[in-house]
Structure 1
């Protein structure tokens, strides 16, 4: 790691600001949604993802959907790694608020595979932009026993590898998979919170807010689940996660309506102009809108400070959002969904940021 090197925000941000306008435009998504999946593939072959199509693994896939998903995954991972390699010192360490998402995704795949039984020859498509390499997760996936995987995690020594090893131990003791996953997630959040607080400064506060808003989203999902299951036999409420930004555990535990839960917070500000009745709209729709608000907030964060870590957050968020939108488009076209149906699921951050 480069934590002892001087931060290079001026150089990094000058490079990233020039790239903030390099993403697929909403009008292009709308046009592609009216076409076919083959037309989407031809578009990508003439885009920033063209090089990914030359990867050996992509060429082995027989369906256009599988090729698109793999090529875009590889392309986004490469662009994130390139961005990370531009940074040194403080911004490099703060970028773990994004790169650790890759590690968490892969760790959960390993945990589920080893806990529920898996075919070692059918490994998942790992996210490849994290601190831990896909090769490390390959080695865990190939482990014959949970104990073998735990030993590999211990030998690796990375905080998230150690957290995965502890979660595997929880499962090995006979606890449920959800409990083991919860252990992994708690360890992940505790590590990030401690890491960013140790760095300190305004960039650290930004990283903590990104993490905290992610926790808020998870907790909103838990809140809806607990409300749905309340009063049912053998139903225990799921505890809320720590380290949220705007939704305290006290608020989560005592709020009896959506308005009480998010009122007076940026979460309400982010959706109040949509004309949604908070008490009658479905939880699924509300969670989708809160998720969109989170992407919008990240995408416009660079306006808060053109010289700080906020620029990197916005650029990396827009990369991840493009990945998500292309996948939504590809799956919709493959399943024959209507253009309006596909467009309604895409997240557009091209306009003005809403309050929050």
Structure 2
């Protein structure tokens, strides 16, 4: 079956072209971000909060950058404490990611959009999996920090799997990625193969990001291209692990994505996990993968991004580092709140935090 997706609105390409012609303002954006670095919680705090209780987490956050927003919008709510804290963390992340996007001009704005694709990729995958399983309780995993707006994901969640409503929401959303998601949903319905719909969504999303990158030549574009390459690696490694160590069908091996740092030939023909990663950006603590392997690879990618701010204080590296640190803080705090609520063992909870060791 050949899948044809509707032409993206002409305004999308026109907006990219007009933005690319603007003078970039990295110095302004980076100055604002450096001033915001002091707002991040110290790394050791996450391990301490994992040994506290929900009331302790609430008391601590009241005396941080989260305090004013919590007092204004959540403190007096009759929601359960867990839900109040989770809502606070996601609202704060949306606000901070949104501010970052609004500050950029020219290629600074375009590259910020490309970097935000990780949120859309994860939310899209979760949405497709919810549709495949017949669940109608889909909730976005990330705080709407991508090109697709928080409101778009909330409306999709409210559609309850209704295909006509999903198609309408995607048709009237102004971003090209909504068009890609709509086509992936149709592919899932027609083929019944989740991995094929996910692969199409991932490939088309990366194709969109690559098209934007063509407007952003120079060292800044090259750094963001490297980030995308490692994101592609994470997808390819997930497929490779599924085929060689999981329940993946052999046909999935044909659905690696091009453009990563790991050569396709190595992914196709290497049988050993250690040999697969040898001499690459990716490191493995053992010869064989385990259930934590993908988590450790993701942690490695995020910690690398955080170090980039030291390489060029006037380039896109500061934006990359800030985004990675903000995502890690959001994820750590959400993990702590969820873990404390479920009574997870403290040592186990600390082991799944994305903290710099």
TM range (shorter): 0.7 to 0.9
2:264 is aligned with 1:257: no
Match of 2:61 in 1: 44
State whether residues 229 and 235 of structure 1, in contact with CA within 8 Å, keep that contact through their aligned partners in structure 2: no
2:342 is aligned with 1:326: no
2:243 is aligned with 1:222: no
Secondary structure of 2:93's partner? Answer: helix
Q: Give how far 1:197 is off.
A: 2.6
1:217-296 map, 5 Å: 217-229=234-246, 236-268=251-283, 276=285, 278-280=286-288, 282-296=289-303
Match of 1:158 in 2: 175
C-alpha separation in 1, matches of 2:305 and 2:100: 17
Q: Give how far 1:187 is off.
A: 0.9
Match of 1:128 in 2: 144
Secondary structure of 1:6's partner? Answer: coil
Q: Deviations over 1:137-188 (max 9, x none)?
A: 4444455842443244233342101101211221343433332222211111
Match of 2:212 in 1: 195
State whether residues 138 and 157 of structure 2, in contact with CA within 8 Å, keep that contact through their aligned partners in structure 1: yes
C-alpha separation in 1, matches of 2:262 and 2:245: 19
Q: Give how far 1:69 is off.
A: 1.6
C-alpha separation in 1, matches of 2:274 and 2:265: 15
C-alpha separation in 2, matches of 1:187 and 1:59: 44
Q: Deviations over 1:70-128 (max 9, x none)?
A: 21011011011111112111111101233233333444454445555455xx6635733
Counterpart selection for 1:83 from 93, 96, 100: 100
Q: Deviations over 1:270-315 (max 9, x none)?
A: x5xxxx3x224x4223322222211110000112211110110001
C-alpha separation in 1, matches of 2:122 and 2:44: 31
State whether residues 20 and 215 of structure 2, in contact with CA within 8 Å, keep that contact through their aligned partners in structure 1: no
Secondary structure of 1:39's partner? Answer: helix
Counterpart selection for 1:303 from 305, 310, 322: 310
State whether residues 114 and 141 of structure 1, in contact with CA within 8 Å, keep that contact through their aligned partners in structure 2: no
State whether residues 105 and 127 of structure 1, in contact with CA within 8 Å, keep that contact through their aligned partners in structure 2: no
1:12-91 map, 5 Å: 12-54=29-71, 62-91=79-108
Match of 1:354 in 2: none
**Structure 1's 85 and 28: CA in aligned 2 closer, same or farther, altered over 3 A?**
same
**Structure 1's 340 and 177: CA in aligned 2 closer, same or farther, altered over 3 A?**
closer
C-alpha separation in 1, matches of 2:65 and 2:230: 30
Gaps of 5+ in 1: 352-356
**Structure 1's 138 and 321: CA in aligned 2 closer, same or farther, altered over 3 A?**
closer
Q: Give how far 1:262 is off.
A: 0.8
Q: Give how far 1:202 is off.
A: 1.2
Match of 2:119 in 1: 102
Q: Which moved more, 1:333-342 or 1:219-228?
A: 333-342
Counterpart selection for 1:173 from 175, 190, 208: 190
State whether residues 93 and 143 of structure 2, in contact with CA within 8 Å, keep that contact through their aligned partners in structure 1: no
Indicate the RMSD between aligned Cα atoms, in angstroms: 2.7
Q: Give how far 1:134 is off.
A: 2.9
C-alpha separation in 2, matches of 1:57 and 1:141: 22
State whether residues 309 and 320 of structure 2, in contact with CA within 8 Å, keep that contact through their aligned partners in structure 1: yes
C-alpha separation in 2, matches of 1:28 and 1:134: 28
State whether residues 188 and 194 of structure 2, in contact with CA within 8 Å, keep that contact through their aligned partners in structure 1: yes
Counterpart selection for 1:209 from 207, 226, 239: 226
**Structure 1's 47 and 229: CA in aligned 2 closer, same or farther, altered over 3 A?**
closer
1:138-153 map, 5 Å: 138-143=154-159, 145-153=162-170
C-alpha separation in 2, matches of 1:58 and 1:192: 39
